[in-house]
Amino acid sequence: MTLIDVTPALQAHEQETCELELKTTLRALIAAKFESVAAAQRKPLAGPLADELVLLESGLDSLCFAIIVATLEDELGFDPFTEAEDVYFPVTFGDFVRFYERAR
Amino acid sequence: MSTFRSPSATSSDSMSAPADAMSLRGTLRRSERLAERRIHGWAGEVSLADLARGTALGGAAAALAGRSVLLRVADPLYAAIALVEFDGVASRIVLSPPDLQDEALPGVVLQAGIEAAVTDGAEPIAGLPTHRLALPVQLQDSPPAAIASEWVMFTSGTSGPPKMVIHTLAALTGAIKPAAAGAPPPVWGTFYDIRRYGGLQILLRALFGEGSLAITAPDEPMPDFLTRVAAVGVTHLTGTPSHWRRVLMTPQSRALSPAYVRLSGEIADQAVLDALKARFPGAPIGHAYASTEAGVGFEVNDGLAGFPADYVGRAGDVALRVVDGALQVKSARASSGYVDGRTLAGDDGFVDTGDMVELRGERYHFVGRRGGVINVGGLKAHPEEIEAVINAHPAVRMSRVSGRRSPITGAIVAAEVVLHDPGADEAAAREGILAACRERLAPFKVPAMLRFTPSLPMTAGGKLERAVG
């Protein structure tokens, strides 16, 4: 009988799950922020918050984005726009989420 | 013994008679009810009758005749005493505000040509020959006022580091009307420090208007001062809108019944005017526009925020005009210039106040300082105009609006709000405040961030503390 040590695999799986959950949480948090700021600013979102949604066509204006970035900074403790060494402009909602994921 | 005059004293006595009559002491000596009049400080009080004749310097005023003197005291009562004693004697009186740091003194001494200092403490000031003030006032001959002293005051420094500006007693008292015949003697009370323009105005009103005065000290708790105010029967009570908002939060304010309530030094918004009207229904409530540089501009006594549009361009001692949204003032009450020789006024005599106004109907409203704008993606918002809208909400005691840095728009508008009732429903208040802002302000001016706080800091000058830059 060969015993297979499954611990590394389990650990790898747990880590993946954990990262996946974090990513899901961050994405959900950002999406929720888009929705609440849109509602507060009376700017209806142009479509569902899918990866390919182009930010400039989302219905939000730059003031909305400024508020989203500021409130996310308060909740997450960082602001990737200010921390980034290069000027970066996310084009789609997916870019925006990944920008935060990478900066974490 | 009086050995204070130079050999030329005899010949200059007739020359100095007008200067003496114009001086603080000369004015006091003409008072018919001097014996009843007092300045009430936190640590003690002084009779104006004693002050008109005596000295708190053990006669050292003679040594200060014709000198440039720095007045640096801990207790503002001593500032009042020294001003009376030195006016017309010292060539220049430099009035150090309470928050001037020791590190700044060498520069101040150099710039203002200061030759001696006067203090109520034990330590010499900035390496200068230092004379000590002490109570009680000793009665003795004092030098007659021979000259028109220059009074040097510090600007509040709301826009940049404080600057020293030169005034004369004539300019400082230019807006003070003589007491009405037969009127009961006023007892003034002020939350301002008398070493700043706003507070000095009140000291001078008391001295020139047959009145008495109650002043506070930097460490005195507001409730203690209000208890004293009630005890000495203050009739005319004055402070900044920030002072008054704090007063309205004290139970002691309910025991006050002033005959006159006055605000200046900051924008008086409708909310604070209405709150004072409700708390003191019998008292006229006036707000005054003044600055250390431009002097007293005007008073508004109709209970409404802002000022009537016809104040601009009307004839009188003070000419007003609005240039690019900023209020400009031309007045004999303005400072004659900075101590470093720079002039304040332009070629045509107008001083640019940096206070921004906006015409709404028949009235100008103050919207804030030129330098204080929040730039939201190129659109300009004044913190004060947003605060005025927030403060109008019935649950709000006071608020502070500032710019928060944003990588997207440069800045966004952030608000900190103090509620009347700390236990109030914050969610409901937030909704109500933001709804009012959305209704009355352009979208970029509506606070993007709003948080509640139990209190907001005030500067030594009694103004809401704002971040510089």
DSSP letters of A13-82? HHHHHHHHHHHHHHHHHHHHHHHHHHHHTT---SS---TT-BGGGSS--HHHHHHHHHHHHHHHS--HHH
B19 — pLDDT class (breaks 50, 70, 90):
confident
In angstroms and rounded to an integer, the radius of gyration of the C-alpha atoms of chain A is 18
Percent of chain B with pLDDT over 90: 62
pLDDT digits (tens, 9 = 90+) for B398-445: 999 999 988 888 889 999 999 999 889 999 999 999 999 999 998 889
pLDDT digits (tens, 9 = 90+) for B267-313: 898 989 999 999 999 999 999 999 888 899 999 999 999 999 999 99
In residues, how long is chain B? 469
Chain A residues touching B451 at Cβ < 8 A: none
Closest C-alpha to A94, from A56, A65, A39, A55: A55
> What distance in Å separates residue B467's CA from the closest CA in chain A?
19
Cβ–Cβ contact B431 with A under 8 A: no
Q: Which of B407, B434, B438 sits opposite A69 (nearest CB)?
A: B407
pLDDT of residue B236: 97
If one compares B138 and B467, the residue with the highest pLDDT of the two is B138
B431 to chain A: nearest residue by CA? A40
What b-and-e string marks burial along B188-214, b requiring 16 or more CB atoms within 10 Å of the CB?
bbbbbbbbbbbbbbbbbbbbbbbbbbb
Cβ–Cβ contact B427 with A under 8 A: no
Cβ–Cβ contact A73 with B under 8 A: no
- Determine, for residues B448 and A70 on separate chains, whether the beta-carbon distance falls below 8 Å: yes
Distance CA B114, CA B129 (A): 10
CATH number at residue A18: 1.10.1200
Distance CA B311, CA B289 (A): 12
In residues, how long is chain A? 104
> Is pLDDT above 70 for B8?
no
- Determine, for residues A81 and B376 on separate chains, whether the beta-carbon distance falls below 8 Å: no
Region of poorest pLDDT, from A10-14, A27-31, B141-145, B202-206: A10-14
The answer to whether B331 and B295 have CB atoms below 8 angstroms apart is: yes
Kindly tell me the sign of the dihedral angle through the C-alpha atoms of B340, B346, B351, B353: negative
> What distance in Å separates residue B359's CA from the closest CA in chain A?
27
Residue A1 is assigned to a structural domain of this protein? no
Q: Which of A42, A62, A71 sits opposite B408 (nearest CB)?
A: A62
- Determine, for residues A69 and B377 on separate chains, whether the beta-carbon distance falls below 8 Å: no
> What distance in Å separates residue A26's CA from the closest CA in chain B?
20
A79 to chain B: nearest residue by CA? B407
Chain A residues touching B444 at Cβ < 8 A: 63
> Is pLDDT above 60 for B64?
yes
Backbone angles phi, psi at B66, to 5 degrees: 75, 5
What is chain B's mean pLDDT, rounded? 89
Size of interface A-B (CB pairs under 8 A): 40
Chain A residues touching B404 at Cβ < 8 A: 70
The answer to whether B155 and B293 have CB atoms below 8 angstroms apart is: yes
pLDDT digits (tens, 9 = 90+) for A76-92: 988 888 777 666 778 89
> Is pLDDT above 60 for B5?
no
Residue A98 is assigned to a structural domain of this protein? yes
If one compares B159 and A51, the residue with the highest pLDDT of the two is A51
Region of poorest pLDDT, from B77-86, B155-164, B181-190, B384-393: B155-164
- Asked if the ipTM is above 0.85, the reply is no
- The DSSP line for B238-268 is EE-HHHHHHHHTSGGGGG---SEEEEESS--
- Please give the class, per CATH, of domain B373-452: alpha beta
- Please give the class, per CATH, of domain B9-360: alpha beta
Range of the domain at A20: 7-103
> What distance in Å separates residue B406's CA from the closest CA in chain A?
6
- How many CB atoms sit inside 10 A of residue B163's CB? 20
pLDDT digits (tens, 9 = 90+) for B328-357: 999 989 898 999 888 888 889 999 998 999
How many domains are there within chain A? 1
If one compares A90 and B116, the residue with the highest pLDDT of the two is B116
> Is pLDDT above 50 for B131?
yes
B413 to chain A: nearest residue by CA? A67
Q: What part of B 338-377 touches A (C-beta under 8 Å)?
A: 376-377
**For B183, which DSSP code?**
P
What is chain A's mean pLDDT, rounded? 82
DSSP-derived 3-state class of residue B60:
helix
pLDDT of residue A21: 64
> Is pLDDT above 80 for B256?
yes
- Determine, for residues A63 and B404 on separate chains, whether the beta-carbon distance falls below 8 Å: no
Longest CA pairwise span in chain B (Å)? 77
Cβ–Cβ contact B226 with A under 8 A: no
**For B468, which DSSP code?**
-
Six-digit token string for B81: 């005493």
- Determine, for residues A70 and B376 on separate chains, whether the beta-carbon distance falls below 8 Å: no
If one compares B265 and B211, the residue with the highest pLDDT of the two is B211
pLDDT digits (tens, 9 = 90+) for B157-177: 554 567 899 999 999 998 888
**In Å, how far are B208, B210, B248, B400 from B181, measured between CA atoms?**
14, 11, 33, 43
Six-digit token string for A49: 């918050």
Six-digit token string for B127: 């390496």
Residue A94 burial (10 A CB sphere; 0-12, 13-18, 19+): middle
- The domain spans of chain B are 9-360, 373-452
- Determine, for residues A70 and B406 on separate chains, whether the beta-carbon distance falls below 8 Å: yes
> Is pLDDT above 80 for A61?
yes
Residue A39 is assigned to a structural domain of this protein? yes
